[in-house]
Amino acid sequence: MRPVLRFVPHLVAAALLAGCAAQPTEGPTVETGQVVGESGDPRNRARLHTELAGLYYSRGNMNVALEELRVAVAADANYALAYGMFGLVYMELKENALAEQNFDRALRLAPNEPDLNHNYGLYLCQTSREKESIKYFLQAIRNPLYRAPWRSYSAAGTCSMRVKNTKDADEFFQRALKMEPDEPGSLLQLGQIRYQQGRMEDARTLVSRHNKVVTPSAESLWLALRIERKAGQRAAEQSYATQLRRRYPASDELRKLQRGDFE
C-alpha cells in the first residue's frame, strides 16, 4: 500500500474560525462579494476572501471556494496565498493543469512562503513527482517562521517511502518526531520501517503511541497485529484482529487477515 498524503490548508485565520463557531452550519456571512466588516484595503479584502475560501474548501464546497478566490484576486492580483488556495481547490477537483498554474504563480510571488512550498510539495508527490517534491518540503522547513516544520519532515518521509527510499524516509520521520513526538503519520510509518527491519520492540512502541494519539486506523491495527504475531504474542494478536473486524469490516487489511496474507 502506497503511503497516503492529505492536504490541509493553513490559510484560515483563527479569528475567522472563532467568528463562525456560533453558526457552524451556515458559514460566514457574505453579501455580493463583500464580507461584512471587511476594510477597504485591497490586501485585507484579498486575505479575508482567501480565508473564507479555505473554510469552504475544508467543508467540501469547492464552487463557493472558487467564487471567494476570484473575489480575492480581483481585490489584489498579487496576493500569493489566494493562488496557493486556488491550487488546492483545483487539485481537489482533479484539474491538475490549473492547480499547477496557480501553485506556480503563488511561488513566483512568494518563493519562501512555507505553507505554499509545503502544499506544492504535496501536490508534486500526489502527481508521481515524489523526488521533485522533497526540495519544496525542505524549502518550507528552512523558513525560521514556519509554524509546523515537522509536518514537512513527515510529508518528505512519506514521499520518500513512495519511491522506496527508506533511508531518507527514516531520517525525515525521526526529525519530525524530535520536533513533535506525537506526529501520527511519522509514528505509524516509522513503525512500519522498524517492523521491516525486524526491530519489533521499537515498532511496537511507535504504533502503540500512534494508536493512543489518534483513533486507530485499519493500517495501524494491521501493523500492530503483525508485530504481535512476529513476537509470538497470540493474545495481543487476537485482540487486534477483533478490533480490525469490528472497526473496519470492509478494509483491505481485514481481507488480508482472512487470507492469512501477513506479509
Please check whether residue 125 lies inside any domain of the structure: no
Q: Could you say which DSSP state residue 41 is in?
A: -
Per-residue pLDDT tens, the chain, 263 aa: give them.
555 555 444 443 332 333 333 333 334 434 334 554 455 799 999 999 999 999 999 999 999 999 999 999 999 999 999 999 999 999 999 999 999 999 999 999 999 999 999 999 999 999 999 999 999 999 999 999 999 999 999 999 999 999 999 999 999 999 999 999 999 999 999 999 999 999 999 999 999 999 999 999 999 999 999 999 999 999 999 999 999 999 999 999 999 999 998 88
Please check whether residue 259 lies inside any domain of the structure: yes
Please check whether residue 76 lies inside any domain of the structure: yes
Q: How many domains does the chain have?
A: 2
pLDDT of residue 63: 96
E strand spans, 7-146: 30-31, 34-35
pLDDT of residue 182: 96
Please check whether residue 250 lies inside any domain of the structure: yes
Question: Is 203 within 8 Å of 227 (Cβ atoms)?
Answer: yes
Residue where one domain finishes, among candidates 82, 105, 128: 105
Same domain, 92 and 190: no
Domain housing 45 = 1-105
Please check whether residue 217 lies inside any domain of the structure: yes
CA-to-CA dists, residue 76 to 47, 71, 98, 122, 124, angstroms: 9, 9, 19, 26, 27
Single pTM value for the model: 0.83
Residue where one domain finishes, among candidates 62, 86, 105: 105
Please check whether residue 147 lies inside any domain of the structure: no
The C-alpha cell at 242 is 477483533
Can you give the CATH number for the domain in which 246 is found?
Answer: 1.25.40.10
Same domain, 99 and 190: no
Residue where one domain finishes, among candidates 85, 105, 125: 105
Same domain, 5 and 98: yes
Please check whether residue 99 lies inside any domain of the structure: yes
pLDDT of residue 4: 54
Please check whether residue 116 lies inside any domain of the structure: no
Give the end-to-end CA distance of the chain in Å, rounded to a whole number.
12
pLDDT of residue 263: 82
